[in-house]
């Protein structure tokens, strides 16, 4: 199996981001995966919008690009994901990530449905964007529905372009790529959770928001 881990960053690197980057590089070497650190706009001007161009958050959708079709699995991690030193190979697990179960219940339950209702489908799987793992077949199917119209049609009423989480959700429910899938979630307490929620022997911790100050 040929596996790849991606991370994306724009602008000058901060100390915590360098620490996380180094830790994920170390993890990749331990599980025999390739690691690519992406900067700038890996999706180019694909997602240009009149208010924000190019839009940064959805650059993480570059994991769907054809250039990565040589890899059996691609894992996209946020920059605030830190490898703890506890080695557990994430590529041995079937799941995609952690489900946003609150946001799945109804459109107004999260920003994703509230801001971008045109891209939302109630009760259909939606994943947090900090840790997403997709195999080649899934990436190719999802890519088949990814186009500029998805962005322009989904812009919120206050002019905000859709983020990677809601676009991925939209691509999944329009392609039915998850139909008949038995396992959707990774063991999220070991790979996707916040420091205060995670298993004591977690492999990754998600230091989102003000938690970044805890990264030494």
Torsion-angle region of 32 (φ positive above 0: left; ψ -120 to 50: alpha; else: beta): left
Q: What is the pLDDT of residues 76-98, one digit of tens each?
A: 999 999 999 999 999 999 999 99
pLDDT for res 80? 96
**Is the distance from CB of 193 to CB of 202 less than 8 angstroms?**
yes
Q: What is the pLDDT of residues 93-108, one digit of tens each?
A: 999 999 999 999 999 9
- Residue 145, pLDDT score: 92
Band of pLDDT at residue 198, cut at 50, 70 and 90 = very high
Whether the full predicted model's pTM is greater than 0.75, yes or no, is: yes
Which H/E stretch holds residue 6? strand 3-9
What architecture is the 3-214 domain classified under in CATH? Alpha-Beta Complex (3.90)
Q: Pick from 87, 112, 90, 92: which is nearest to 101 by CA?
A: 112
Q: Is the pLDDT of residue 50 over 50?
A: no
Q: What's the mean pLDDT in 190-198?
A: 96
Residue 71 DSSP symbol = -
CA distance 166 to 57: 11
Q: What is the pLDDT of residues 136-191, one digit of tens each?
A: 999 999 999 998 777 777 888 888 888 999 999 999 999 999 998 999 999 999 99
Please say whether the beta carbons of 172 and 141 come within 8 A. no
* Collapsed DSSP state (helix, strand, coil) of residue 132: strand
Other CB atoms within a 10 A radius of the CB of residue 36 amount to 15
Q: Between 163 and 134, whose confidence is greater?
A: 134
Residue 55 pLDDT grade (very low, low, confident, very high; cuts 50, 70, 90): low
């Amino acid at each position: 199996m040929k596996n790849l881990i991606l991370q994306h960053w724009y602008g000058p690197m901060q100390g915590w981001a360098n620490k996380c980057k180094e830790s994920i590089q170390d993890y990749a070497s331990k599980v025999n995966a390739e690691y690519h650190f992406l900067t700038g706009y890996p999706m180019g001007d694909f997602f240009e919008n009149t208010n924000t161009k190019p839009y940064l958050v959805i650059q993480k959708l570059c994991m769907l690009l054809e250039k990565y079709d040589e890899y059996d699995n691609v894992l996209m991690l946020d920059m605030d994901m830190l490898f703890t030193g506890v080695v557990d190979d994430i590529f041995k697990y079937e799941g995609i990530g952690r489900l946003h179960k609150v946001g799945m219940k109804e459109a107004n339950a999260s920003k994703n449905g509230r801001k971008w209702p045109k891209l939302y489908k109630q009760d259909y799987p939606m994943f947090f964007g900090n840790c997403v793992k997709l195999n080649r077949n899934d990436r190719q199917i999802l890519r088949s529905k990814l186009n500029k119209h998805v962005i322009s049609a989904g812009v919120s009423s206050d002019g905000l372009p859709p983020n990677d989480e809601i676009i991925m959700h939209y691509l999944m429910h329009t392609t039915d790529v998850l139909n008949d899938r038995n396992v959707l979630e990774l063991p999220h307490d070991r790979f996707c959770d916040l420091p205060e929620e995670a298993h004591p022997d977690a492999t990754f911790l998600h230091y989102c928001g003000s938690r970044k100050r805890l990264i030494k």
